[in-house]
């Protein structure tokens, strides 16, 4: 078990329904060539779920004592991790406009993360016009700060359209073999 820093525990203490302490990111993509939207996103979700061992904090949940967030708080491996809860596939009615996408993301962002589970979610969203899809990610600030989120994002994407990442970018193995900025795109 790893103990949360004083600052990270502070994010847990400060969180209220009116002031969530998670950060979110929305990324828009265009489907490659003549790829089928549903099967492409199903393969993408399967790849994200494929980690045999998730890097911290993706496979870790909070462990609190009798004093809750006021006492010592630790990260512990989640032995009953439900990866389908964390990686979700949603669809907008076609042809989805940005207005509907932003309404969905606003609703997703407004809910607090479940503290009995690892503190993150990733939503693959299909149905946008122009063969686009979106990925909305939400991480609790106690689990991932802005720099870590940027490194994670860089490890998933590439400027080279032929580059492919083999394995889940959330896995320990992929994380240990990637260097921020030298990332590969998710395979198609």
Task: Give yes or no: 123 in active site.
Answer: no
Distance CA 121, CA 25 (A): 11
Residue among 8, 150, 1, 24 nearest 78 (CA): 1
129: helix, coil or strand? helix
Question: Could you tell me which residues are beta bridge partners of residue 4?
Answer: none
| CB-CB neighbours of 99 under 10 Å | 8
- The number of CA neighbours under 13 Å toward the Cβ of 98 is 4
Query: Which of 86, 123, 140, 141 is labelled catalytic?
Result: 141
* Residues known to be catalytic: 141
């Amino acid at each position: 078990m790893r103990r949360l820093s004083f600052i990270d525990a502070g994010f847990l203490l400060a969180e209220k329904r009116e002031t969530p302490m998670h950060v979110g990111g929305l990324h828009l993509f265009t489907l490659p060539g003549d790829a089928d939207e549903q099967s492409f996103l199903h393969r993408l979700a399967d790849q994200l779920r494929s980690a045999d061992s998730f890097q911290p904090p993706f496979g870790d949940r909070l462990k609190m004592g009798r004093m809750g967030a006021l006492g010592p708080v630790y990260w512990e491996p989640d032995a009953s991790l439900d990866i389908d809860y964390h990686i979700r596939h949603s669809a907008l009615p076609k042809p989805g406009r940005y207005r509907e996408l932003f309404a969905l993301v606003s609703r997703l962002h407004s809910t607090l993360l479940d503290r009995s589970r690892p503190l993150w979610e990733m939503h693959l969203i299909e149905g946008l016009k122009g063969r686009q899809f979106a990925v909305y990610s939400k991480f609790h600030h106690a689990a991932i700060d802005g720099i870590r989120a940027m490194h994670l994002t860089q490890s998933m994407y590439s400027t080279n359209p032929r580059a492919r990442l083999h394995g889940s970018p959330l896995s320990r193995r992929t994380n240990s073999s990637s260097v921020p900025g030298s990332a590969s795109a998710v395979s198609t």
